[in-house]
A and B are shown apart, each in its own frame.
Chain A
Amino acid sequence: AQSVTQLDSQVPVFEEAPVELRCNYSSSVSVYLFWYVQYPNQGLQLLLKYLSGSTLVESINGFEAEFNKSQTSFHLRKPSVHISDTAEYFCAVSGESSASKIIFGSGTRLSIRP
């Protein structure tokens, strides 16, 4: 069975500072990895995903995540955050044999200070 751990429930950072949101997963099979974002008063939306190929994946708004198989991690990073990045971020995993069933972490609340 798969599981996801997001160790940081809250991450406060100053605007224009870099940020890393940590995600570790456990699985005995090949996995697909996702980061979802939930902006205030909005629904969950996909930020980026890793299916195969290049281990570094990017989003359109400057976030990137790197799949590290040896460390079973999929940390999310951004070199310079903006106020508009304030949101809750969820890391998620699905297994190749049950790709439709996504297992989510408990979320990390990113708060940006001006």
Chain B
Amino acid sequence: GAGVSQTPSNKVTEKGKYVELRCDPISGHTALYWYRQSLGQGPEFLIYFQGTGAADDSGLPNDRFFAVRPEGSVSTLKIQRTERGDSAVYLCASSLGPSKGDTQYFGPGTRLTVL
């Protein structure tokens, strides 16, 4: 079946602009996660949704970052007033449920470059 998909695959923007990154999870998966991976680093947790609600947003770096999942499926990560330090690969993952140790399936990522 189809895996997690993310669009766009690449996004180049200018400092100060607003961007939206989209994630389509695996059908039937109730849990959705966003991570950010900077060059040479492992993925860094940003936010976790269970259904439509953000169950844990402790990883969002500041209030310029916001994510939604209005219908409990597709999610959008929104970044306002982008800064050069926001440049990274943004990864989305989904899992069947919130059960402890549920396998998270990752998408290919969106590479964001802020000039």
What DSSP secondary structure best describes chain B's contact surface? loop
Given A32-B101, A101-B59, A43 and B106 touching (CB < 8 A)?
A: yes
Contacts of A105 in B (CB 8 A): 42
Taking the complex as formed, is A73 at the interface, i.e. its CB lies under 8 A from any CB of chain B? no
Min CB–CB distance A78 → chain B (angstroms): 20
- Measured CB to CB, the nearest residue on chain B to A42 is B108
Contact A96 B100 (CB under 8 A): yes
Contact B42 A104 (CB under 8 A): yes
Min CB–CB distance B110 → chain A (angstroms): 12
Please measure, in the bound complex, the distance between the C-alpha atom of A105 and the C-alpha atom of B44, giving whole angstroms: 9
Taking the complex as formed, is A28 at the interface, i.e. its CB lies under 8 A from any CB of chain B? no
Min CB–CB distance A76 → chain B (angstroms): 14
Total interface residues on B, using CB and 8 Å? 32
- Measured CB to CB, the nearest residue on chain A to B38 is A106
Please measure, in the bound complex, the distance between the C-alpha atom of A104 and the C-alpha atom of B109, giving whole angstroms: 16
20 other A-B residue contacts (CB within 8 Å) besides A90-B43, A99-B98: A32-B101, A36-B106, A43-B91, A43-B107, A90-B42, A92-B42, A96-B100, A99-B100, A100-B31, A100-B33, A100-B98, A100-B102, A101-B45, A101-B48, A103-B45, A104-B42, A104-B43, A106-B41, A107-B40, A107-B42
